[in-house]
Structure 1
Amino acid sequence: MDFGIQLPSIVHHDKPLDYLVNLVKEADQMGYKYLSYTDHFGPGRPQLDPLTTSTAVAGASGRMRIVPAIMLIVMRGIVPTAKHLATLDVLTGGRVIAGVGPGSQDREYEIVGLDHKERWPRFDEAAKALRSLLVPGAPSFKGRYYSTEGVSFEPRGAQKPHIPIWIGSWGSEAGLRRVARLGDGWLGSALDSTPERFKDAKARLEAFLRQQGKDPATFPNAVCTMALYVSNNRAAFEGMGQPPERARREGEPPRERVMVGTFSECEEKLHRWKEAGAQALFLRPVQDDLEQAYTFMNKVASKL
């Protein structure tokens, strides 16, 4: 199992770029394999633009794969999204994974002038249009909402055969079918999953992949938005790792799905995620980013 570190959405530091560059550099040296970031337009809390931030720290990322988890391609637009991903792939020597999804917040669609009810048909087209731009030799795409006909797009990235496109899904049947149909990998979310539900979703995804003529054994996955706070001082993490209200399930402990707890508790959770078939976890420190990244690797992951 591999691990990724998620960039904080806001930095309360007098030198934010220095702080982030140091975090990324140290995470690479600790053995983290992925650098991820979430994409939101608000509202409700201050956030740095993740595209700008990821580009600013890319030079310090060493060998890590860079994965937006997820990028809101419907709201950002297909050509600008493809241009960002392809440019970042060139600048990093081919280390980008295009993690994409529609997003779930209706207010975000409203503030960019789009209808939230159209997000799924728009996303289906957007994923196909994105592939037509990033994959050399792919046919152009023309749909109801998007068209890449006549679009000259270069460079398409540095890696061969192309930048992989991973589709985000919380695990519904429609979402998993979409992953199998449109993706090169699956991004699950700790916001709405447990190891047991992930295992069930993975089994269903494998059946859908076979229907698409794809080999489940070579289809990667990762679980993102995994809140992290590990401490043997129980008072330090009380109230942490709580998922948003919309993601909570009746009767289910909110911390059941995230990496918040004592060393032994998080070690047990990690074993459950591995046994469920999760290939990577993208961890989001709740606070004390660098200290938590180090503690997890040395006190929890080392026991795997």
Structure 2
Amino acid sequence: MKAILIEKPEEKQIVSLQDVPDAQLPEGDVLVDVAYSTMNYKDALAITGASPVVRRFPMVPGIDFSGTVAESSHPDFKPGDRVMLNGWGVGETHWGGLAERARVKGDWLIPLPAAIDPRQAAAIGTAGYTAMLCVMALERQGVTPDKGEIVVSGAAGGVGSVATALLAAGGYEVVAVTGRPAETEYLRGLGAASVIDRTELTGKTRALARERWASGIDVAGSTVLANMLSMIKYGGAVASCGLAAGMDLPASVAPFILRGVTLAGVDSVMCPKPDRLEAWSRLARDLDLGKLEEMITEVPFAEVIDTARQFLDGAVRGRIVVPISA
């Protein structure tokens, strides 16, 4: 089978597209013929070696894939079933989806919703599923459209694009944050009511700033998240799901104890299966697939490695879909 393989014979890792014997596939009770995979920020980190994402070598990256079951000894799946996978450490500790076949634990797989085809499932991927988890987290904190504007950082990226579309479709007034002014029309097309420059959230942090937004979704962390928290209105909430700007949080406790703001952490990798099923059910119901199509850029399998470098340069919009054997 063809696969992107990350090897580390010495100190420096080597990444290449090569033919790999099926016998090298890791253990698992379901073998999937992969139709589509994706490129996410974590995949870009793994492929470039910019961060120690990969913890076992050799490794096939790709934290998402969709496809058809070829063989199964798992009671929930049979050959011919359409399935998808997001997270669970694939592409980090277990071979992932940037290959023509994947062997995984059946407990990690989700049946493809009838309303979503394999290409759309890959386009949504971990990014879109994470965006829905963020929306659900805010809903649990009582966030509703009548409370006021919702700010979304990294809005032109994968999570941000889907979050913007979902929130707008749900009647929320979305303030999209981006460091790329050229993406303004794209974001308005997804439903953003307004677009602001990222510099409004990257300056020196204050314990409390002027109240601006009812709630927020943040993919950046660090100063961006700290500034966002300082500007959330009384009783609001922020769903945090990323660290593109850094893992630190130079914030104060003031928003939490003086304005009753809630910081809700969102993890997609090890998220329990019931929450995954709920998120995907909501995506099948609530996501405008026409808007999803506007987010998609297809990248040939052979160009994945080069695209990873562009990803880290902030030059990628929306969702990157990689046709494998579709």
Q: Same fold (TM over 0.5)?
A: no
Using structure 2 for the length normalisation, give the TM-score: 0.28
Structure showing greater Rg: 2
Using structure 1 for the length normalisation, give the TM-score: 0.29
Structure showing the higher helix proportion among its residues: 1
